[in-house]
Structure 1
């Protein structure tokens, strides 16, 4: 639901008072530094613990070698300790310094996701240190689980749980029915996970729908919080103030934008944005112009106009209002949000009005709008390129004609 990311890498956390991941395989001298591309091996890709934007094939580039050969070459580049234990199945995500692959444990046949992070780059190291610092400490049913870690000189292999149920809003669109009761059940799970993180002194700093995944495709699947690349972990007793500007534009809290020291309440602001989208399929703050978007956020002004807001309860709106508060000291904590009357009453009540049609229409309309915007930008770039090529051809033709005239004059 975001307009892309505007991530500034956080400072790597230094203090860790828990280490629940027992098995970390250190570097032992294997040379596996060459890493280029991986083409999907078998079957369709499933949603990973760390979602990433899709890759697009250039039709003007020479077609690569057969898929089977490429997969074999790619697998050969994995550290032997990894391939001895796991079968590499498919690429399911990629980022600036990382790749995520679906694997299968050879002995148990259990599927997992392995996130490979290139640590030879400083940015990759910082993200890796930040994410590992958090994932080694957490054990919660609604947070993606780190299983084990393999380390080489220039790469880290993080074996994690595999979330195969898809993103939150993809499920809503295909579900056919979505009520306030459904919304409170989703929010209860997310709030439980966030409350646990905040208790440990961990701030996610990039909560958004793309990072909330269903564990499996079944109706009874739990929601899992993923992607801790921007998370900040603070030691017990610290003042918990952070200063790094990071996050995804539409979900950034006002205090981050004004570059004030902030606390874990920035996660609660993001949950207010998510709650608004969850009940309407629209964004509370949205503008293609980043400056105007930030101005909206700083004012904290949004509306409950349009469908399906007339059908949404006042309690639900009050819940959102108490999260989308510009003053962080007035914002609800995760514990207070869990005790809000809307969450408590709606989670236990019977079914409410079906909001699915309006929410799905709004989500699909926004997705289509953003797709058209992307195509328009690409078309503009293509047009500029065409004009540039045309003017170059004209100049070259004129130059050839000029040379021809000079030759004719010289020979004549």
Structure 2
């Protein structure tokens, strides 16, 4: 069973309610036309999120008469940077200055870098590809990122490849995860939720039109480009993405069971053939989280969680502020 561990939302003052706006927002998405081959053997246990966290630069005030050696967290960060710098291909370090380790996944490490000539910041996702599982995840993500170019989908800048590792240079998102903003606010207003969903749907509708299904949409995989309230939202982490096949009837056909359990659509839970609509189910779960600050389907017992998903058992009470 494919899964990724998910974060736990704190209890909130659940001012829930009026969600009719979601219907009009979901209408923004459209059905998909052309499809390609589905990538095989997607390993759902992989939780390869590269969520970018802003790193603080500098170690505090230093007296000019002496040199301060890094200590504590600064020393640990210094050691981590040095450790991962040593792993980088010389072609990469010749072009980019490695600044900080900012994320890690099952088969990857992400560092914040700066282009040596332009001083522009980027993120580099270094993926281990010697093992078959790591290579499959890398092939999936790279196959998607090489095809897409959209304001609401993370952008691939360039790629460096070696027999052991692949280095993906990506635009750097410094505004944090959508998940973190939900936690900070408790829940979104209807207006904020609508804006977040519209941006997400713009990205999802775009890659659906290319025959790509994400299969692991969740707030942790949606990143804000910058910390401001007007930041665009980026869909990231295509390690479980698929290029769907058409069956003779012209419908999507995918069968691999993968994703994060709380966001899985019923047909994935039942291990039935499914379509890109599983992404729309996940967006419905995300909409619920944005408005309530809690999850519609959540249980420590995996069988009970799946039964709740199959039965569609959830509740939504209260009112949501519009502004």
| Cα deviation, residue 67, structure 1 | 6.0
| Cα deviation, residue 91, structure 1 | 0.7
1:299 maps to 311
1:66–1:94 Cα change, 3 Å: closer
Larger proportion of helix: 1
Q: How far, CA to CA, are the matches of 2:266 and 2:83 in structure 1?
A: 47
Q: Of the candidates 221, 226, 234, which is equivalent to residue 236 of structure 2?
A: 226
1:289–1:124 Cα change, 3 Å: same
Q: How far, CA to CA, are the matches of 1:214 and 1:68 in structure 2?
A: 26
Q: How far, CA to CA, are the matches of 2:80 and 2:270 in structure 1?
A: 48
1:123–1:268 Cα change, 3 Å: same
Q: Deviating runs (4+, > 6 A) in structure 1?
A: 235-238
Alignment of 1:60-79 (within 5 A): 68=78, 71-79=81-89
Q: Is the 8 A contact 2:92 2:160 kept in 1?
A: yes
Q: Is the 8 A contact 1:204 1:232 kept in 2?
A: yes
1:11 maps to 40
| Cα deviation, residue 197, structure 1 | 1.1
Q: Is the 8 A contact 1:147 1:161 kept in 2?
A: yes
Q: How far, CA to CA, are the matches of 2:145 and 2:78 in structure 1?
A: 34
| Cα deviation, residue 177, structure 1 | 8.6
Is the partner of 1:310 in helix, strand or coil?
coil
- In the alignment, does 2:255 pair up with 1:243? yes
Specify the structure having the higher radius of gyration (Cα). 1
Q: How far, CA to CA, are the matches of 1:79 and 1:239 in structure 2?
A: 43
1:332 maps to none
Q: How far, CA to CA, are the matches of 1:104 and 1:199 in structure 2?
A: 33
Q: Is the 8 A contact 1:207 1:270 kept in 2?
A: yes
Q: How far, CA to CA, are the matches of 2:136 and 2:222 in structure 1?
A: 23
Q: How far, CA to CA, are the matches of 1:243 and 1:3 in structure 2?
A: 18
1:51 maps to none
- In the alignment, does 2:72 pair up with 1:43? no
Is the partner of 2:253 in helix, strand or coil?
coil
Q: How far, CA to CA, are the matches of 1:198 and 1:73 in structure 2?
A: 39
Q: Is the 8 A contact 1:241 1:263 kept in 2?
A: yes
Alignment of 1:246-265 (within 5 A): 246-265=258-277
1:290 maps to 302
- In the alignment, does 2:145 pair up with 1:135? yes
Alignment of 1:30-109 (within 5 A): 43=56, 68=78, 71-109=81-119
2:134 maps to 124
1:163 maps to 173
Is the partner of 2:298 in helix, strand or coil?
coil
Q: Is the 8 A contact 2:81 2:101 kept in 1?
A: no
Is the partner of 2:150 in helix, strand or coil?
coil
1:99–1:177 Cα change, 3 Å: closer
| Cα deviation, residue 128, structure 1 | 0.5
1:52 maps to none
1:317 maps to none
1:69–1:131 Cα change, 3 Å: closer
Deviation sequence 1:24-49 (CA, Å, 0-9, x none): xxxxxxxxxxxxxxxx9x8369xxxx
| Cα deviation, residue 174, structure 1 | 3.8
1:104–1:260 Cα change, 3 Å: same
| Cα deviation, residue 76, structure 1 | 2.9
What TM-score do the two structures reach when normalised by structure 1?
0.59
Q: Is the 8 A contact 1:3 1:250 kept in 2?
A: no
1:256–1:121 Cα change, 3 Å: same
Q: Of the candidates 214, 218, 224, which is equivalent to residue 204 of structure 1?
A: 214
Relative contact order: is structure 1 or structure 2 higher (C-alpha 8 Å, sep ≥ 6)?
Answer: 2
2:284 maps to 272
Q: Is the 8 A contact 1:12 1:130 kept in 2?
A: no
| Cα deviation, residue 239, structure 1 | 4.2
1:289–1:145 Cα change, 3 Å: same
What TM-score do the two structures reach when normalised by structure 2?
0.74
1:311 maps to 319
Is the partner of 1:262 in helix, strand or coil?
coil
Q: Is the 8 A contact 1:166 1:214 kept in 2?
A: yes
